[in-house]
Structure 1
């Protein structure tokens, strides 16, 4: 055994926590990111992953998520990734800040913030509406009907959406609110009200449960209404059934123009002999990016503690990303904990039962 190998085995491994039931499905992506960091010499010691399935809300309780997070911290995790739903991230923010352990989440809410809260969003409460209204304006749609599912993030979406409409001169013709229990018939009644407002297009602001269930498509078909329509990053649930999102444009993060996405896929297949789960979809690459960012933070950490890893995350600059468009990169800084930069959100479309890339952000004449 060489002295390097001996030192490697003598050093205690760093522990990283993964909070949420989805991480068991993406263990290969996050392991690949850490193994590649070891192979490149970025990470100079062994690592251990600890998993907790219960991230709390919305499926469980806030207490369940808090207890799971504390178990990971008590077990010695230097950072935790997860709490990826807006509800769970909001409930855990104060605990990450109090315990001085970085929590890196895919949540898009502005309500997840603080010294130890970091976001690598699977969408963004301000960014999604900005791109949606930009698309409406560039397509010539000046009056939009809004369907706003009730949720904590739905309120944030709507506030930003109205702001962007005011900025770009798009009128909100009508608004209807639904919840997760709304039936297809009740949804059709609400869509009929929106259709009667004589809007140019339809916008969906919120989670995508009713879309994936088929209720939205059934309601539109019942009315024989096929308007131009756009939705938030709930669009990325197309993986559960492209047919349910037929005709929709949405905010996406899987970009065929990003060469790093293709290289990630090639390396994954070479390593594991099959496509990632849910492929093609942004989430496997996003899981990889989150893990790679944690590995980079460990490399940059001033000391291997929670505060040290926080500083490591804040020291990342221009780290290329698999997620998003070709100019997407990862960077942090003190008080700058939204880690994705560049064209990390863009447009997709489902047409004829298949996903199409629908372009990167392009400014309107108003900018």
Structure 2
């Protein structure tokens, strides 16, 4: 029996096309994992329905928890397993520590990987970035925000970790540019022993505000410590702020913090996408991970569409041809563009400042220069 008329266009000679395999490398304990995967499927399905890509996408998911809690080797092995399964591209790793460890492996293996990391140390011929933050950019934004609020002194706390050290180096520079005095520079690990003692030392220097630079786990523990110390400073943190979306108790723990985020209600593409996804899922998931995941699918779909050949090397070439692709994340003029020597996709006001008030985040503003 001949194929139905509605199928003939997609089944030449009656033979189906194989789906395109895209790997998903989950390298962190992700409270929003199900939302993440659902959004990826939704975004790729929309791209296929719109004709951006001619084949459906099959996600090959590998959970390979690495640093900072476990070992980088887990994430490296996870990436290599995805490459062995024939994926054309990998989404992940998602965080700085594992991205730094994996970058040389990605280049040797030759399967492009789109990470969300913010470090400048993730780079290579097959290393692409759609940042969930930027360690240098965030430091510049935090220093500018502090100065524009009228503060002139700051207490700085940073993690002893690859990301924390990179954040701190950038913040020192931008604090000096903004004419801020760093009264004290304190340190913590990602599993601190005496965090309240560290906060007490900062409080005793009486800075105008507190800046936290790092991956962010310790900030979830600070609320009762502030109460014990009788100290409620104006405080701003890195994109670790976005952990608030992972669990309601983390949102509550970070009440009152300002932080670097990406979701901006002024972006005209954000609301319609969130509405479509809510209709698809049957519930609302209005947070940054949803928007970032959707942008990730549209970036990769465009790379697949522009690939001269559906091989990993071809997809790498296709990604380098993406230009001026509108984003749902970030401010109204945020877009995604790549090039042969430009593998950071987000352009424009892709980072914003939000604050947690009453158990939810509210938009504060886009970046403005300090002086």
State the alpha-carbon separation in 2 of the partners of residues 69 and 243 from structure 1: 35
1:46 aligns with 2:56: yes
Q: CA deviation at 1:141?
A: 1.1
Q: 2:80 aligns with which of 49, 70, 76?
A: 70
- Mean Cα deviation higher: 101-110 or 354-363: 354-363
Partner of 1:19: 25
- Two-structure CA RMSD over aligned residues (Å): 1.6
Q: 1:289 aligns with which of 277, 290, 295?
A: 295
Partner of 1:61: 71
For residues 187-202 of structure 1, the aligned pairs below 5 Å read: 187-202=195-210
Q: 1:109 aligns with which of 119, 128, 147?
A: 119
Q: CA deviation at 1:348?
A: 0.4
Tell me, what secondary structure is at the counterpart of 1:199? coil
Partner of 1:29: 39
Q: Can you give the 5+ residue segments of structure 1 that lack an aligned partner in the other structure?
A: none
State the alpha-carbon separation in 2 of the partners of residues 25 and 80 from structure 1: 18
1:305 aligns with 2:293: no
State the alpha-carbon separation in 1 of the partners of residues 35 and 288 from structure 2: 14
Partner of 2:273: 264
Partner of 2:9: 4
For residues 108-187 of structure 1, the aligned pairs below 5 Å read: 108-183=118-193, 186-187=194-195
Q: CA deviation at 1:25?
A: 4.3
Q: Can you give the 5+ residue segments of structure 2 that lack an aligned partner in the other structure?
A: none
Say whether the 8 Å CA contact 1:79–1:309 is kept in structure 2.
yes
> How many residues are aligned here?
358
- Mean Cα deviation higher: 18-27 or 148-157: 18-27
Q: CA deviation at 1:146?
A: 0.5
State the alpha-carbon separation in 2 of the partners of residues 41 and 90 from structure 1: 35
Partner of 1:216: 222
- Mean Cα deviation higher: 11-20 or 125-134: 11-20
Say whether the 8 Å CA contact 1:26–1:284 is kept in structure 2.
yes
Partner of 2:351: 345
Say whether the 8 Å CA contact 2:143–2:370 is kept in structure 1.
no
Say whether the 8 Å CA contact 1:54–1:60 is kept in structure 2.
no
Q: CA deviation at 1:285?
A: 1.1
Say whether the 8 Å CA contact 2:338–2:344 is kept in structure 1.
yes
Q: 1:336 aligns with which of 327, 334, 342?
A: 342
Partner of 1:232: 238
State the alpha-carbon separation in 2 of the partners of residues 49 and 231 from structure 1: 33
Q: Please give the per-residue CA displacement for 1:242-270, whole angstroms capped at 9, x wherever unaligned.
A: 32112211111111111211111111122
Partner of 1:273: 282
Describe the shift of the 1:9–1:93 C-alpha distance in structure 2 as closer, same or farther (beyond 3 A): farther
Tell me, what secondary structure is at the counterpart of 2:135? coil
State the alpha-carbon separation in 2 of the partners of residues 36 and 281 from structure 1: 19
Q: CA deviation at 1:227?
A: 1.3
Q: CA deviation at 1:337?
A: 0.7
- Mean Cα deviation higher: 200-209 or 174-183: 174-183
State the alpha-carbon separation in 2 of the partners of residues 226 and 67 from structure 1: 44
Tell me, what secondary structure is at the counterpart of 2:192? coil
Q: Please give the per-residue CA displacement for 1:108-161, whole angstroms capped at 9, x wherever unaligned.
A: 111111111111111111011010001011011111100112221000000000
Q: CA deviation at 1:176?
A: 0.9
Task: Please give the TM-score of this superposition, normalised by the length of structure 1.
Answer: 0.93
State the alpha-carbon separation in 2 of the partners of residues 106 and 75 from structure 1: 22
